[in-house]
Amino acid sequence: MTNWLIASNNLYKTADLQLALAYYGLSAASYQTLMAPVAFPEEGVTSYQDNATAKVKYLAALVPDTGVIADDSGLTLAALGQSALGVTTKRTLHAQSNLSDNQAILAALAGQSDRRATMWCTLVAVTPHGRLTTATGTVSGYIAPAPVGDQSTGFDRIFTLALGGPTLAELSDKTRIPLTHRGRAAKQLVASLTQEGD
């Protein structure tokens, strides 16, 4: 059975992806359990899949006998248009260094009545034999007025599936994971890898 490493320097994303994959029966570890942090290729601005593929191939070249999984994900806000964040979500939000990501999103929606949002995730896995498998997941909902919840972190603290409903971070992992963009992509990826015998 393939041993899997996650190609990410984002500790939150790594932990969340580990939970999502484990929920569907696949065990994976941070690549940093084997080596010091590496500098992944600079991300592009047009494709989640291209960014995840670049990361997975880079790390796979360093650990040729191990399976590698990479994630690229983002957020779009209806009020700002599809091109406002998306593939460059983290980079755009991090440009506002005086605000956390969630604070920046809430500030961008200040005075906006349209709170609709979609989270996107693409996962790419490469086996020790070099075969690539891609999976995607999305979830649509709304941005809450303020961060709430401590069951998970990141955008989960401001993302609700229904207006006035609980944020994803208020839900237990068992309830939350199948509903998230990353959970849906993980389900698809594990199913594909299982079918392929990895």
Residue in 16, 72, 101, 198 annotated catalytic: 72
Nearest partner of 183 among 125, 126, 131, 119, judged by Cα: 119
**In the numeric block, which tokens belong to residue 50?**
């291209």
Can you tell me the distance from the alpha carbon of 120 to that of 184, in angstroms, rounded to the nearest whole number?
Answer: 10
Give the SS3 label for residue 19: helix
Active site residue 173: no
Can you tell me the distance from the alpha carbon of 90 to that of 168, in angstroms, rounded to the nearest whole number?
Answer: 19
Interior angle at CA 187, CA 125 and CA 38, nearest 5: 35
What is the helix (H) or strand (E) element at residue 56, kind and residue range?
A: helix 48-62
**In the numeric block, which tokens belong to residue 140?**
């649509």
Nearest partner of 127 among 71, 65, 186, 189, judged by Cα: 65
Tell me the catalytic residues.
72
